[in-house]
Amino acid sequence: MQATHAVSHSGTHEAHHEQGGFWRTYIFSTDHKIIGIQYGITSLCFLLFGFCLMLMMRWQIAHPGQPVPLVGPLLEHVLGASKGIISADLYNMFGAMHGTIMIFLGVVPLAFAAFGNYVVPLMIGAPDMAFPRVNMASYQAYLVGGIIMFTSFFIPGGPAQAGWTSYSPLATSIASNGQTFWLIGMVFLITSSLLGAVNFIATIIQLRAPGMTWMRLPFFVWAQFVTAFLLLLAFPPLEAASIMQLMDKVAHTSFFLPTGLAVGGALANVSGGGSPLLWQHLFWFLGHPEVYVLILPAMGIVAEIIANNTRKPIWGYKSLVYSALVVGFLSFIVWAHHMYMTGMGVKIATFFQTTTMIISIPSVIILTCLFISLWGGSIRFNTPMLFVMAFLPMFGIGGLTGLPLGLSYIDLHLHDTYYVIAHFHYIVAPGTIFALFAGIYYWFPKATGRMMNEFWGKVHFWLSLIFMNLIFQPMFGQGMAGMLRRMSDGGANYSAAVNSRAGADVIGGLSDYVMHLHTYILWAAVGLAIAQIPFIINFFWSIKGGKPAGSDNPWHATTLEWQTPTPPPHGNFAVEPHVYRGPYEYSVPGHSTDFTPQNEPEK
């Protein structure tokens, strides 16, 4: 009954969708590919916006109190920055929103939702996500959350300014409504992530094509599967905490406000009895799995592109899969390593330190497998491959520099310094974002039928690599010299120069050399900005003017998304594909071609 039902239905089904019109097809679409592109464009716009916030912050750090060039008048007119100078409050707003936007509106939607939505159903041989309408709702919730966050810049008092971590009591003690907007925006973003996570997990469990067993899944799908579980189970406590902080702000409760709290010198008119540490625990319960959400999809992309461009299987598929599962599992019980300075006792600090050290093992296994995968490969040095090859040492630096931070004793010195900023930016910027760039160059021909320009891709790569290192490498030294985070004057108040002029003891002050690095970092940031221009132009120009891909599978890849027409039609596969082998059957001895697609029948 089901079979006859399907055959008679599919014809009318196709016709019905073609009659959708512009709104149904592109704006209110339930097709995972359209939704993936919607997520992709929106998140890239937010990434650019967050990047611009960073540029203004770096200016302020290098030239505190001086009007921002070019955009100073804009800041004055739109945000009330007098004479185009970034005040301390405005700097804090930029800082809080830079973090929030880059993580929740930029990287996660791009890595998980955009790439995941477009690629995962194709890779597993499914016609769409398990719940297409829920998928559309999840994008719309993301868009609403993003609009709320963006709008908060323009309300009186400006956006949230207590860091992306929004620690209480500071977050709720600031008189403006920025934090309220942040909290409501977060509720929408969390809802979007939860709906997306449910969809991904159900799709991967239920909609794998016949023959697509768990151990034949491309590693990218495994990475997205674990990421979805992290989002599903780690976000709700932050949602609960956001609701409680919203109650603190709007209903004057004291969930996170301690007894005897004084604001501005006066006793706050609240009941007290709350706990600021409670916010930190609930925040970091999400916060730590969140960083694995940032890295796992990237590792998945890297695996796919390495296999494809070395023309050999990934080394250690099983190790990769089990490591990803273990990383996901352990990520839930390491969170308080972000809280070593909160006065925890030795036993609990040791517990978290131990789990933190243990979690580095599967991370290293994953990186090692990816490195070893290069050995003996016939490497094609195209743009995607350059980005993923750079990912490997860059993520290596980022990950290794995390080890001292995980040890509570050393963290006492490094906590809240620029060392931390360098550590996590190395992982996300020349780490995850490089993998995402690689993914864009790689899957571009599947979505558009055209290749992005190789020359400008390589220009984009080399300039980005050089400038990212110039930006973040000095920060390790600045952090170890004692430079703290979130200082709106770039540390001038603590610099030896300023303090020696005032006659104070300069031991422990930030040296001239440390302060001078700000100028170099600013120039490197400007260089990085310029390096993105060829990418943006290349991206849009190549949609219509790029070299035609020539086939549905220009990279000669084995995974299922390359075995569809270009772009894949609604429903993806005309008939349900059958999978006969694993995902990385490259250079199999005795075969006429150096790759065998997963769904090619045995001969």
Partner 1 sequence: MEIPYTVQPRPDTGLYNAKVGIWLFLASEVMLFGALFSAYILLRVGAPDGYWPEGWLNVPLGTLNTLVLITSSITTVMAWASLKMGRFSRFKVYHAITLICAVTFLCIKSSEYHDKWIHYEATLKDGTFADGHFRSAVYVNTASNEKLTQKSFHGMEYTTGTGTNAQHFALESVTLNGHIVDDVKKLYNLHSLHEVVHHEDFTVQASQIKRIENYGPWHNTYTALYFTLTGLHALHVIGGAIVIAFLWGPGSKMWQTDPERFTNRVEISGLFWHFVDLVWIFLFPVLYLL
Partner 2 sequence: MSDHPKKHDAQHEDFSHHVRRYLYVFYALIFGTIVTVLASYIPFGHHSINIAVGLLIASAKAFLVAGFFMHLISERKMIYGIMAFTAFFFLGLMFLTVWSFADFPPLTITH
Q: Give residues in contact with partner 1 (CB under 8 A).
A: 2, 6, 9-10, 13, 126-128, 130-132, 134, 194, 197-199, 201-202, 205-207, 232-237, 239-241, 243-244, 247, 251-255, 270-271, 273-275, 278, 282, 285, 571-576
Smaller CB separation from partner 2, 302 or 339: 339
Query: What are the tokens at 82?
Result: 């007098």
Smaller CB separation from partner 2, 266 or 346: 346
Smaller CB separation from partner 2, 407 or 492: 407
Residue 155 CB neighbours (<10 A) = 13
Residue 345 binds which of partner 2, partner 1, none (CB < 5-8 A, kind-dependent): partner 2
Contacts of 557 (CB under 8 A, 6+ apart): 304, 308, 595, 597
- Over the window 290 to 329, marking each residue x when it contacts partner 2 by CB under 8 A and - when it does not, the resulting string is ---------------------------------------x
Contacts of 414 (CB under 8 A, 6+ apart): 404, 405, 420, 479, 480
Smaller CB separation from partner 2, 275 or 360: 275
Q: How far is the CB of 325 from partner 1 (least distance, A)?
A: 17
Please state, in angstroms and rounded to a whole number, the distance separating the CA atoms of residues 366 and 361: 9
Indicate the SS3 state at residue 520: helix
Q: How far is the CB of 346 from partner 2 (least distance, A)?
A: 7
Residue 329 binds which of partner 1, partner 2, none (CB < 5-8 A, kind-dependent): partner 2
- Give me the torsion for CA of 524, 525, 527, 530, rounded to 10°: 180
- CA-wise closest residue to 87 among 110, 56, 115, 112: 56
Please state, in angstroms and rounded to a whole number, the distance separating the CA atoms of residues 400 and 431: 13
Q: How far is the CB of 239 from partner 2 (least distance, A)?
A: 13
> What sign results for the dihedral spanned by CA atoms 335, 404, 410, 515?
negative
Q: How far is the CB of 189 from partner 1 (least distance, A)?
A: 14
Q: How far is the CB of 483 from partner 1 (least distance, A)?
A: 34
Q: Does the footprint of partner 2 cover residue 5 (CB under 8 A)?
A: no
First CA to last CA across the chain, in angstroms?
A: 33
Residue 344 binds which of partner 2, partner 1, none (CB < 5-8 A, kind-dependent): partner 2
Residues 198-237 that bind partner 2 (CB under 8 A): 205, 229, 233-234, 237
Q: Name residue, tokens 């509106």.
A: 105
Residue 472 binds which of partner 2, partner 1, none (CB < 5-8 A, kind-dependent): none
From residue 56, how far is each of 65, 201, 207, 526 by CA, in Å?
Answer: 12, 40, 46, 10
Residue 343 binds which of partner 1, partner 2, none (CB < 5-8 A, kind-dependent): partner 2
Query: What are the tokens at 118?
Result: 């477009």
Burial 559-592, CB ≥16 within 10 A → b, else e = bbbbbbebebebebbeeebebbbbbbbbbeeeee
Smaller CB separation from partner 2, 282 or 521: 282
Please state, in angstroms and rounded to a whole number, the distance separating the CA atoms of residues 478 and 422: 9
Q: Does the footprint of partner 2 cover residue 52 (CB under 8 A)?
A: no
Radius of gyration, alpha carbons of the chain: 25
The DSSP secondary-structure symbol of 270 reads S
Amino acid in position 344: M
Residue 2 binds which of partner 2, partner 1, none (CB < 5-8 A, kind-dependent): partner 1
Q: Name residue, tokens 């919203």.
A: 246
Residues 329-358 that bind partner 2 (CB under 8 A): 329, 332-333, 336, 339, 343-348, 351
Residue 247 binds which of partner 1, partner 2, none (CB < 5-8 A, kind-dependent): partner 1
Q: How far is the CB of 267 from partner 2 (least distance, A)?
A: 25
Of positions 181, 219, 222, 285, contacts partner 2 by CB under 8 A: 285
Of positions 277, 374, 403, 459, contacts partner 2 by CB under 8 A: 277
Please state, in angstroms and rounded to a whole number, the distance separating the CA atoms of residues 84 and 62: 15
Decide: 282 and 237 in contact? Cβ < 8 Å. yes
Q: How far is the CB of 224 from partner 2 (least distance, A)?
A: 17
Decide: 488 and 428 in contact? Cβ < 8 Å. no
Q: How far is the CB of 144 from partner 1 (least distance, A)?
A: 18
Total residues binding partner 2 (CB under 8 A): 22
Smaller CB separation from partner 2, 148 or 223: 223
Q: How far is the CB of 478 from partner 2 (least distance, A)?
A: 30
Residue 574 binds which of partner 2, partner 1, none (CB < 5-8 A, kind-dependent): partner 1
Indicate the SS3 state at residue 251: coil
Please state, in angstroms and rounded to a whole number, the distance separating the CA atoms of residues 366 and 296: 10
Q: How far is the CB of 253 from partner 1 (least distance, A)?
A: 4
Query: What are the tokens at 30?
Result: 């339930």
Q: How far is the CB of 285 from partner 2 (least distance, A)?
A: 6
Smaller CB separation from partner 2, 28 or 332: 332
Q: Name residue, tokens 């967050």.
A: 50
Residues that bind partner 2 (CB under 8 A): 205, 229, 233-234, 237, 275, 277-278, 281, 285, 329, 332-333, 336, 339, 343-348, 351
